[in-house]
Amino acid sequence: MKLIGRVHTWMTTSKTSYPKKPRVASSGDLVLDRRREWAVAATADGFHQAAAEIYEQILERAPFWAIVWFELGEAREKLGDRSGAIAAFESAAARDPDGLLAADLRLAALGAKQTPLAPAAAYVAGLFDQYAAKFDHHLQETLEYRGPALLRAAMERACEKLGRSFHFSRVLDLGCGTGLMGQEIRALCEWIEGVDLSPRMIEEARKTGVYDNLQTGEIVAFLAAQPAAAADLVIAADVFVYLGDLAPVFAASAKAMAAGGFFAFSVQKTEAAEFIVGNDMRYAHAPGYLNALAGAHGFQTISLEDASTRKDRGEPVPGLVVVMRKT
Ligand SMILES: C[S@@+](CC[C@H](N)C(=O)[O-])C[C@H]1O[C@@H](n2cnc3c(N)ncnc32)[C@H](O)[C@@H]1O
């Protein structure tokens, strides 16, 4: 199998961080596959020089193998070889026309490319299709994810502040994943629909039985197909980390929402620019950028609070929990 190869195994080099990339089955040559396994094991043990040398040898025989270019880029980055890493990620991108590896995000994180407005849908769907079965356990137990609980609490405080009932009639859960957000707020909603790019995440969400409807699809297209001014809560827990430019989702949410409705979401936080992409291949957004989007799209910011929704390698990831109201 050439190019990316068929994705079927999930091997995390660290169980305490967020998965970044889909994995591949085979180069079509068992000897090369075995060598790559050695390199992956060397990486896991911190032997980045040895790993880089093995990857380079593999690529002499299999220059088409995009993921090995990608992994060589990661190894060179660990070794402090920025230009070598950039060259390897560029080679990966050139051999990955569907963007399944999202090497452009790594190039942006290295400052070698402008920050993409969004990752390729194939990357997000591939990543979460592989992650789906392990998602709840890994995220909640290992990474101590608490986005849904933080969002629920922020919305409850916002309702108290506004003297509004803590109840919603038509709820859209953007990037619903396995349904953790839906489970957290089902009792507050008359009707709740979830959408996600990953069919396997949707399958997991279906098993919870909490959604009135579920769709596999992209958030902005999903919102655009909604009846106008009908939703009174649009919620996105840990989803905008997979979108850079949030203007389209603000615009489409505004159209789908009734006046007085809530738009609630979490993001990773930066102050460096409107949005950036980090080494974790996730986006971070600036508070000023979110407030400016609110102003431009008819939202009032009710609360924008520093809060970490999860840990990475044991450290809280800086984030924001935001509740806006459609004016
Ligand atoms: C980290 S998970 C969070 C899932 C869920 N909201 C939760 O709190 O557990 C992010 C989810 O967003 C989905 N996603 C990311 N970008 C998307 C997009 N543009 N359209 C639809 N789903 C998207 C991914 O497939 C993934 O299931």
26 and 88 inside one domain:
yes
Eight-class DSSP state of 43: H
150 within some domain: yes
CA 175 to centroid of ligand 1, rounded, Å? 3
**Phi, psi at 233, each rounded to 5°:** -150, 125
Structure token pair of residue 107: 């190039």
Q: Whose CA is nearest to atom 23 of ligand 1?
A: 175
In a domain, 122, yes or no: no
- The protein residue whose alpha carbon is closest to atom 1 in ligand 1 is 238
- Closest-lying ligand 1 atom to the alpha carbon of residue 196: 22
Side-chain half-sphere CA neighbours of 269 within 13 A: 17
Using alpha carbons, select from 34, 122, 30, 24 the residue that is nearest to residue 69.
24
**Pair 201, 313 in one domain:** yes
Q: Same domain, yes or no, for 152 and 260?
A: yes
* Residue located nearest, by CA, to atom 14 of ligand 1: 175
Same domain, 137 and 22: no
The pLDDT assigned to 3 comes to 37
Phi, psi of 209 (to 5 degrees): 70, 10
What interhelical angle do 48-61 and 30-44 show, nearest 10?
A: 160
Distance CA 35, CA 142 (A): 30
195 pairs with which residues across the strands? 174, 215
Ligand 1 centroid, distance to 8 Cα (angstroms) = 20
Same domain, 134 and 109: no
Q: What is the pLDDT of residue 138?
A: 83
DSSP states of 191-255 as a string?
A: EEEEEES-HHHHHHHHHHT--SEEEES-HHHHHHTSPTT-EEEEEESS-GGG-S--HHHHHHHHH
Same domain flag for 221 and 249: yes
List pocket residues of ligand 1, CB cut-off 6 Å.
124, 128, 147-148, 175-177, 180-181, 195-198, 201, 218-219, 237-239, 242-243
What is the pLDDT at residue 60? 96
If one residue of 145, 171, 185, 239 were mutated to test the ligand 1 pocket, choosing by the most ligand atoms within 8 A of its CB, it would be 239
Closest atom, ligand 1, to C-alpha of 198:
25
What is the predicted pLDDT for the residue at 240? 98
**How many domains does one find in the chain?**
2
Element containing residue 63 per DSSP (H, E): none
Q: What is the pLDDT of residue 76?
A: 98
Q: Is the same domain home to 20 and 140?
A: no
| Residue with CA at minimum distance from ligand 1 atom 26 | 177
- Rounded to whole angstroms, the Cα distance separating 191 from 170 reads 5
Range list of H helices, 17-81 = 30-44, 48-61, 66-78
* Structure token pair of residue 109: 């994180």
Cα(219) to centroid(ligand 1), Å: 9
Instruction: Please check whether residue 119 lies inside any domain of the structure.
Output: no
The residues near 292 (Cβ < 8 Å, ≥ 6 apart) are: none
Question: Do 55 and 204 lie in a common domain?
Answer: no
Ligand 1 geometric centre to CA of 317 (Å): 18
- Gap between the terminal Cα atoms of the chain: 53
Q: Give me ligand 1 centre to Cα 242, in Å.
A: 7
Of 142, 150, 197, which is best to mutate to test ligand 1, by the most ligand atoms within 8 angstroms of its C-beta? 197
Task: Kindly report the CATH number assigned to the domain that includes residue 268.
Answer: 3.40.50.150
Residue 47 lies in a domain: yes
Please tell me the distance between residue 56's alpha carbon and the centre of ligand 1 in angstroms.
35
Return the ∠ at Cα 88 (arms to 84 and 94), rounded to 5°: 145
- Does residue 267 sit in the same domain as residue 160? yes
pLDDT the model gives residue 81: 98
Nearest-angstrom CA–CA distance, 300 and 246: 16
Beta bridge partners of 316: 311
106/29 same-domain check: yes
DSSP letter for 188, please. G
If phi > 0 it is left, if psi is from -120 to 50 it is alpha, else beta; for residue 177 that is left
CA of 176 to the centre of ligand 1 (A): 6
- Same domain for 102 and 139, yes or no, is no
Please say which residue of 114, 148, 169 terminates a domain.
114
The last residue of one of the domains, among 65, 85, 114, is 114
pTM of the model: 0.91
**Predicted local confidence at residue 24, as pLDDT:** 58
For position 10, what pLDDT does the model report?
33
| Last residue of one domain, picked from the residues 90, 114, 138 | 114
Strands 311-312 and 315-316 turn out to be antiparallel
Is there a single domain that holds both residue 185 and residue 259? yes
Whether 125 is covered by a domain: the verdict is: no
Confirm whether 29 is domain-assigned. yes
Ligand 1 pocket: which of 18, 124, 129, 219 to mutate (most atoms within 8 A of CB): 124
C-alpha 132/C-alpha 140 separation (Å) is: 13
Coil vs helix vs strand at 257: strand
Reported as type and span, the H/E element at residue 172 is strand 168-174
In a domain, 303, yes or no: yes
Q: Which residue range(s) make up the domain with 44? A: 1-114
pLDDT of the residue at 25: 55
Q: Distance, CA 196 to ligand 1 centroid (Å)?
A: 6
Residue 304 forms part of a structural domain: yes
d(CA 86, CA 81): 9
Tell me what pLDDT residue 17 has. 64
Tell me the pLDDT of the chain (327 aa) as tens digits: 333 433 333 333 344 665 665 555 578 889 999 999 999 999 999 999 999 999 999 999 999 999 999 999 999 999 999 999 999 999 999 999 999 999 999 999 999 999 999 999 999 999 999 888 888 888 877 788 999 999 999 999 999 999 999 999 999 999 999 999 999 999 999 999 999 999 999 999 999 999 999 999 999 999 999 999 999 999 999 999 999 999 999 999 999 999 999 999 999 999 999 999 998 899 999 999 999 999 999 999 999 999 999 988 889 999 999 999 999
Tell me, what CATH number does 77's domain have? 1.25.40.10
